[in-house]
C-alpha cells in the first residue's frame, strides 16, 4: 500500500503502512469508553425525558442516521422499543427518507461527527413539521449539533474512518436510555468489564475467521430480528476496511433468491446473537448455512451463549465466534454489545489478513477522495 498524495489533506486519520491499524486501537478502547459513557449518563439525563414525553403523548419517535450511524439508530430503536414495550412508536429511519418525509413527534438523530448532509437535512425537516429534536454525537459544535434542541455528547471521536467507536457509542447511549425508561440503570463497571471479556474471548475466533475469509471475492452477512442490525454493520465494515464487496440480507430473504449469487468464492457470515431466538430461528440459520456450504461457500457463525455448543458444527469452515454470557446485564443489551464486538473484530482481522489499511476507507487514493466529496455534497429539499 502507498499513498498517491503526500501529505494527505488535513483532518484525515493517521496513515500507517501496516498494522496495528488505528481501528485496532479504537476497538481496544471501547471497554473503557463504555464505562465512561454510562457513568456520565447524558443519554438518560438529556434524551430519556424527550422520549418519555413523546411516548406519553402517543407521538412517533424517529431515530435516524446514515451508514454506521443508521445501523446504530436501528440498534437504539430496538433497545428502547424492547425496554418500553412501545415498538410501534419507535422507528429507525434512513436519514434521507426522514428528510423527504418528516414526522411530527420526536426526531433523534445519530451522527458521529455531526456533518452528514442527509442527517442535518432530516433534523431540519423534522423541525419544519413541529417535531422536537435531539442528537447523539461526538461533535457538539457541528452542523447537526447546532440544529437540535437537545444533545447527548459521546466522549471520543473515532480516529479511524472505519468507525467502531462511532457505532458502539450511540448504542451505549441507547442502552442507557432504555434502562432508564424501564426504571433501572446499567452498571458502568460491569458493562466495561463485559466488553473486555468479549474482546478476549472473541479475538482468537475472529482471527481464524478473518484468515479463512481473506480469499473470498465477496461476503454475504445474514441475520434475523436484532441480528440483522449487526449483519448490516458487518457488511459495511468489510466493504470499508477490506475493499471486499459485501452484502447483508435478512436470513429468510437470503434463501429466497439471493442464494443464486453465492458460490465457492463467497464467504457467508451468519449472526445469531439475539437472545430471543427460538428453535425455529436456530433451525433456519442451520438450513441457510447448509445451503451455503452445498454450493461451496465458506461459512462463519457469530453465536450468542444460548446457541448449543455443537450447533452447525459440520457446516462451519472455522469454529464459531462465541459471545460470552453476561450475568447481571440485560440479555438484549449484552447481545447487542457482544455482537458489536464480534463483527468489529472480524472486520478488523479480515482487513489485516488481506493487507488493507481500514482506517482511511480507501481515501488514500485520489479517485476515492474525489468520489467521497461528490457523495458528501449538500442536500437541498
Residue 3 confidence (pLDDT): 64
Residue 373 confidence (pLDDT): 84
Angle between helices 331-354 and 165-181 (to 10 degrees): 180
Query: pLDDT tens digits, residue range 134-147?
Result: 999 999 999 999 99
Q: Give the residue carrying C-alpha cell 482468537.
A: 204
Residue pair 51/62 in contact by the 8 Å Cβ criterion: no
Nearest to 195 by CA among 34, 24, 23, 20: 34
Residue 188 confidence (pLDDT): 98
Give the mean pLDDT of 6-27.
Answer: 91
Measured over the CA atoms of residue 370, residue 26, residue 174 and residue 138, the dihedral's sign is negative
- Domain ranges (residues) in the chain: 22-186, 216-354
Chain centre to alpha carbon of residue 248: 12
Phi, psi of 320 (to 5 degrees): -65, 155
Residue 95 confidence (pLDDT): 98
Residue 189 confidence (pLDDT): 97
264: Cβ–Cβ under 8 A, 6 or more apart, which residues? 295, 296, 297
CA max distance for the chain:
56
What proportion of the chain, given as a percentage, has pLDDT over 90? Answer: 92
Q: Do domains 22-186 and 216-354 have the same CATH topology?
A: yes
Residue 7 confidence (pLDDT): 73
Cβ neighbours around 127 below 10 Å, total: 16
Give the mean pLDDT of 112-125.
Answer: 97
Q: How confident is the model at residue 302 (pLDDT cuts 50, 70, 90)?
A: very high
Q: How confident is the model at residue 8 (pLDDT cuts 50, 70, 90)?
A: confident
Residue 10 confidence (pLDDT): 83
Q: How confident is the model at residue 377 (pLDDT cuts 50, 70, 90)?
A: low
Under CATH, which number does the domain 216-354 receive? 3.40.50.10490
Residue 349 confidence (pLDDT): 98
Question: Which three cell numbers mark 17?
Answer: 503502512
Please report, to the nearest 10 degrees, the dihedral formed by the alpha carbons of residues 313, 316, 318, 322 taken in order: -60
- DSSP tag of 45: I
Measured over the CA atoms of residue 172, residue 175, residue 176 and residue 177, the dihedral's sign is positive
- Cβ density class 98-116: b for 16+ within 10 Å, e for less: bbeebbebbbbbbbbbbeb
Q: Which of 6-10, 162-166, 353-357 has the lowest mean pLDDT?
A: 6-10
Cβ neighbours around 368 below 10 Å, total: 15
Query: pLDDT tens digits, residue range 191-227?
Result: 999 999 999 999 999 999 999 999 999 999 999 999 9
CA distance 356 to 348: 10
Question: Which three cell numbers mark 154?
Answer: 459521546
Residue pair 98/197 in contact by the 8 Å Cβ criterion: no
The domain defined by 22-186 carries CATH number 3.40.50.10490:
yes
Query: pLDDT tens digits, residue range 18-71?
Result: 999 999 999 999 999 999 999 999 999 999 999 999 999 999 999 999 999 999
Q: What is the pTM of this model?
A: 0.96
Secondary structure class of 246 (helix, strand, coil): strand
DSSP 99-154: HHS--SSEEEEE-SSS--HHHHHHHHHHHHTT-EEEEEES-TTSHHHHH-SEEEE-
Give the mean pLDDT of 285-292.
Answer: 97
Residue 275 confidence (pLDDT): 87
Residue 276 confidence (pLDDT): 84
CB hemisphere CA count around 285 (13 angstroms): 30
Query: pLDDT tens digits, residue range 319-360?
Result: 999 999 999 999 999 999 999 999 999 999 999 999 999 999
Residue 5 confidence (pLDDT): 56
Amino acid at each position: 500500500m502507498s499513498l498517491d498524495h503526500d501529505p494527505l489533506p488535513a483532518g484525515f486519520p493517521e496513515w500507517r503502512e501496516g498494522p496495528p491499524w488505528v481501528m485496532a486501537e479504537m476497538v481496544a478502547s471501547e471497554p473503557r469508553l463504555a464505562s465512561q459513557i454510562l457513568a456520565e449518563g447524558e443519554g438518560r439525563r438529556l434524551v430519556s425525558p424527550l422520549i418519555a414525553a413523546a411516548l406519553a403523548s402517543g407521538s412517533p419517535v424517529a431515530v435516524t442516521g446514515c451508514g454506521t450511524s443508521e445501523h446504530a439508530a436501528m440498534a437504539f430503536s430496538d433497545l428502547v422499543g424492547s425496554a418500553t414495550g412501545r415498538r410501534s412508536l419507535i422507528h429507525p429511519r434512513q436519514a434521507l427518507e426522514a428528510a423527504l418525509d418528516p414526522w411530527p413527534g420526536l426526531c433523534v438523530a445519530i451522527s458521529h461527527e455531526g456533518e452528514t448532509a442527509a442527517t442535518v437535512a432530516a433534523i431540519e425537516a423534522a423541525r419544519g413539521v413541529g417535531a422536537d429534536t435531539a442528537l447523539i454525537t461526538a461533535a457538539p459544535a457541528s452542523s447537526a449539533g447546532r440544529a437540535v434542541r437537545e444533545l447527548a455528547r459521546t466522549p471520543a471521536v473515532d480516529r479511524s474512518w472505519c468507525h467502531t467507536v462511532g457505532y458502539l457509542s450511540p448504542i451505549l447511549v441507547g442502552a442507557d436510555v432504555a434502562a432508564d425508561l424501564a426504571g433501572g440503570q446499567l452498571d458502568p463497571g460491569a458493562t466495561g468489564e463485559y466488553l473486555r471479556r468479549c474482546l478476549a474471548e472473541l479475538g482468537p475466533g475472529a482471527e481464524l475467521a478473518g484468515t479463512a475469509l481473506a480469499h473470498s471475492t465477496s461476503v454475504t452477512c445474514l441475520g434475523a430480528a436484532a441480528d440483522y442490525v449487526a449483519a448490516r454493520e458487518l457488511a459495511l465494515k468489510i466493504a470499508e476496511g477490506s475493499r471486499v464487496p459485501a452484502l447483508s440480507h435478512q436470513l429468510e430473504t437470503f434463501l429466497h433468491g439471493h442464494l443464486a449469487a453465492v458460490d465457492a468464492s463467497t464467504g457467508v457470515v451468519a449472526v445469531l446473537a439475539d437472545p430471543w431466538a427460538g428453535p425455529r430461528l436456530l433451525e433456519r440459520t442451520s438450513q441457510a448455512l447448509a445451503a451455503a456450504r452445498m454450493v461451496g461457500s465458506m461459512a462463519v457463525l457469530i453465536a450468542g451463549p444460548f446457541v448449543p455448543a455443537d450447533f452447525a458444527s459440520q457446516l462451519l469452515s472455522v469454529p464459531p465466534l462465541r459471545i460470552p454470557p453476561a450475568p447481571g446485564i440485560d440479555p438484549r443489551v449484552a447481545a447487542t454489545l457482544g455482537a458489536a464486538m464480534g463483527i468489529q473484530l472480524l472486520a478488523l482481522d479480515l482487513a489485516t489478513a488481506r493487507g488493507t489499511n481500514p482506517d482511511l476507507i480507501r481515501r488514500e487514493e485520489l479517485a476515492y477522495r474525489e468520489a467521497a466529496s461528490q457523495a458528501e455534497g449538500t442536500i437541498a429539499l
